[in-house]
Structure 1
Amino acid sequence: MSLTRALSQSLLDNLTINIIVLNHQLQVNYINPSAEVMLATSHQRCLNLPINEIITEQSKDITLEEALKKGHPCTKLDAHLILHDNQSIMADYVITPIQADSQTYYLIEISTLEALKISRDKVTHTQLEGNKMLLRGLAHEIKNPLGGIRGAAQLLERELTDNTFKEYTRIFIEEADRISNLVDQMLGTNKLPQLEITNIHEILERVYQLIAAESQGRIKLIKDYDPSIPELRIDAQQMIQALLNISRNALQAVTETRVDVPCIRFKTRIIRQLTIGTTRHKMVLSIEIIDNGPGIPDAIKDTLFYPLVSGRSEGTGLGLSITQNIITQHKGVIECHSQPGETTFSLFLPFKE
């Protein structure tokens, strides 16, 4: 291999954009490591396969394959691509015909809409931080008079001899404590995670057992674990709380509505080369909690992780806000995808590099 060709190969291998090279018969000649991650397959498995066996496009206008057959340069934005394992992604792609060795090749550059997602996540993060600052200010204004009310009730209780009136002061004290605790929950935990090497499946087993006990056999629980996942540094108690909040929401979703076979699936996988915020991680733990309930109402999808947002009349709307805070403190991210019949909460936690 010449120096120029070796350099070209090295450049393609190290690009973070997804690259697929096809021959004139639209068969795969090369995919770079980034595309291997996107397709969840290897270069060797794809070699010489027709492009439509590894990736197709759902479109009312010209599709990826049709564009390739025309043999002209093509750029398409917001394309709906279907991968070989039936996973779908939204992406932009560019097709560039290339002449080499008297042959025509096609270079396909695929950019998943991750950059847009990062930008959207930044805006969401800024909004949430603004809300937290507002809540902290409100908390200060609420808890100060609460402390005065509680203290006055305690002093009054000491002066009273009639137990009937003491019962009223106890109510003042208990309600002041309840409101104070509610304010603390709204703010989320400020306690830094106590990180220890932990097996994530031990955490999930604990959550699984609690949900199994609470559901009393009314639902089907499925474990879909990748046993090869290594241990990682997390706060076990905080992670149990985070996963339990999501799982209890799923339990309520499938038991409070008509579902033929109510089901919750706990799934773990390894994701490679994933960007969280602005940092690209080589290896990330993916935890998914999937239920087959009615889905999340459209009205609250965009504000799902805000404090006091709930789809149930009796819900406090604090569980997911607390969960997001815990995952954020672990340098991770939480996402939700929901439609009627399936809601998936995905937690992504980076391994220390």
Structure 2
Amino acid sequence: MMTEQPTTDASEILDSLTGAVVVIDGERRITRMNAAAESLLHVSSRQAFGERLTQLLPALAVLADPIGQAFAEGASYTEREMRLALGPERTITVDCAITPLDGASSLLLEFEQLDRHLRISRENRLIAQNQAIRELIRGLAHEIKNPLGGLRGAAQLLESELSDDDQKEYTRIIISEADRLRTLVNGLLGPESRIEHSPTNLHEVLERVRHLASAEAPAGVEIQRDYDPSIPLLPAAGDQLIQALLNLVRNAMQAVGDSGRITLQTRTHRRFTIGDRQHRLVARVNVIDNGPGIAPELQDQIFYPMVTGRAEGSGIGLPIAQNLVNQHGGLIECTSEPGRTVFTVWLPLEEA
């Protein structure tokens, strides 16, 4: 006979834990699962309740023997550095502690994801990198913007003295290029003041990005959607978010060339840490392309300004995108191999 589903108080206690916890009964059926376990194992507690552990999650068959021993002996066991293939493109490394409960009538399984510590370290490094870049550019910007202002002013004065339209064309080019460079520097710096956030529909932002990109894309480039419709509104500056995501999609378009596939994908994660800050709920936006991939020697440097793998690339689109997402309390990460490059945008769904 199945154990009753947990009371609200028990569920709240389990969900307050940052570690992933699963409870199974003597028939190896799942009776409880907290939010961290849902996020780690990519399965909901409603879906898991009453299911046999290894039937629902075949990757956990490696625990069959220690689970059997824990039930038989009433003793605790710990399995270390287990690699679990939870999907065709997702393998995690975990430690698992198995603890008997209620006289060994049920077992508590606690999973600690080792990859998570590595990811947090990498994220903190990316955040620190972006802050250092901003400070460097802020110092250079003043050195660049002052002579640009003088150059533009001199060109305007010269234009007012000229009567020949052909000659004025040259001064207009100078003014136009000075404006372009000033916009470039301002884009790298980002807004001086805090961005004003308002409730924003992430999918409306992505649809705007998709329409803009589709208008620019060659006929052979397909832009697909894979959205999670349950994502709530998030606090954001819509225009800034559009710019950040559009930069990522344009980067993917340049990667695939005249023909290829780009996928815009959204998902949510509960109890998720960005850098050293934990959030109750975050949105994940993946921009996936099937281009040739990013050279391994560039993958750790792509968010630095002026770093690009293309001769015609400016090397500023990704730093601008990272800067804008950072100002939303989020982060952009990248994984790449030939035939599949994924830029992942993490965005908190609550105001910082």
TM-score for both structures, normalised by structure 2: 0.81
Q: Does 1:110 align with 2:111?
A: yes
Letter of the structure 2 residue corresponding to residue 280 of structure 1 = Q
Q: Name 1:129's counterpart in structure 2.
A: 131
Provide the C-alpha distance between the structure 2 equivalents of 1:219 and 1:183, rounded to a whole number of angstroms: 31
Cα deviation digits, residues 203-234 of structure 1 (max 9, x gap): 22221112222224312221222223332332
Q: CA deviation at 1:243?
A: 1.3
Task: Check the 8 A contact 1:56/1:65 in 2, yes or no.
Answer: no
Provide the C-alpha distance between the structure 1 equivalents of 2:350 and 2:167, rounded to a whole number of angstroms: 58
Q: Name 2:85's counterpart in structure 1.
A: 82
Provide the C-alpha distance between the structure 1 equivalents of 2:10 and 2:228, rounded to a whole number of angstroms: 36
| 3-state DSSP of counterpart to 1:247 | helix
Identify unmatched segments of 5+ residues in structure 1.
none
Provide the C-alpha distance between the structure 2 equivalents of 1:169 and 1:43, rounded to a whole number of angstroms: 67
Q: Name 2:272's counterpart in structure 1.
A: 274
| 3-state DSSP of counterpart to 1:74 | strand
Higher mean alpha-carbon deviation, 213-222 vs 180-189, is at 180-189
Give the paired residue count.
340
1:12-31 correspondence runs (5 A):
12-22=14-24, 28=30, 30-31=32-33
Q: Name 2:339's counterpart in structure 1.
A: 341
| 3-state DSSP of counterpart to 2:130 | helix
| 3-state DSSP of counterpart to 1:219 | strand
Higher mean alpha-carbon deviation, 232-241 vs 172-181, is at 172-181
Letter of the structure 2 residue corresponding to residue 197 of structure 1 = P
Letter of the structure 1 residue corresponding to residue 324 of structure 2 = I
- 1:263 equivalent among 236, 261, 282: 261
Q: In 2 relative to 1, CA 171–7 (structure 1 residues): closer, same or farther, beyond 3 Å? A: closer
Q: In 2 relative to 1, CA 184–43 (structure 1 residues): closer, same or farther, beyond 3 Å? A: closer
Provide the C-alpha distance between the structure 1 equivalents of 2:211 and 2:9, rounded to a whole number of angstroms: 54
Q: Name 2:284's counterpart in structure 1.
A: 286
Cα deviation digits, residues 52-71 of structure 1 (max 9, x gap): 4344559xxx9555665676
Q: In 2 relative to 1, CA 56–189 (structure 1 residues): closer, same or farther, beyond 3 Å? A: farther
Task: Check the 8 A contact 2:101/2:108 in 1, yes or no.
Answer: no
Higher mean alpha-carbon deviation, 234-243 vs 30-39, is at 30-39
Q: Name 2:319's counterpart in structure 1.
A: 321
Provide the C-alpha distance between the structure 1 equivalents of 2:295 and 2:199, rounded to a whole number of angstroms: 38
Letter of the structure 1 residue corresponding to residue 137 of structure 2 = L
Q: CA deviation at 1:11?
A: 5.1
Q: CA deviation at 1:199?
A: 2.1
| 3-state DSSP of counterpart to 1:136 | helix
Q: In 2 relative to 1, CA 212–86 (structure 1 residues): closer, same or farther, beyond 3 Å? A: same
Provide the C-alpha distance between the structure 2 equivalents of 1:8 and 1:352, rounded to a whole number of angstroms: 25
| 3-state DSSP of counterpart to 2:287 | strand
TM-score for both structures, normalised by structure 1: 0.80
Task: Check the 8 A contact 1:97/1:106 in 2, yes or no.
Answer: yes
Q: CA deviation at 1:169?
A: 5.2
Q: CA deviation at 1:8?
A: 8.4
- 1:94 equivalent among 93, 96, 113: 96
Cα deviation digits, residues 126-176 of structure 1 (max 9, x gap): 232122212222222233333344444445555667777766655554444
Task: Check the 8 A contact 1:56/1:64 in 2, yes or no.
Answer: no
Task: Check the 8 A contact 2:11/2:34 in 1, yes or no.
Answer: no
| 3-state DSSP of counterpart to 1:274 | strand
Cα deviation digits, residues 231-259 of structure 1 (max 9, x gap): 23321211111111111111121125xx6
Q: In 2 relative to 1, CA 152–350 (structure 1 residues): closer, same or farther, beyond 3 Å? A: same
Identify unmatched segments of 5+ residues in structure 2.
71-75
Letter of the structure 2 residue corresponding to residue 271 of structure 1 = H
Letter of the structure 2 residue corresponding to residue 76 of structure 1 = R
Letter of the structure 2 residue corresponding to residue 109 of structure 1 = E
Q: Name 2:330's counterpart in structure 1.
A: 332
Q: Name 2:295's counterpart in structure 1.
A: 297
Q: In 2 relative to 1, CA 229–20 (structure 1 residues): closer, same or farther, beyond 3 Å? A: closer
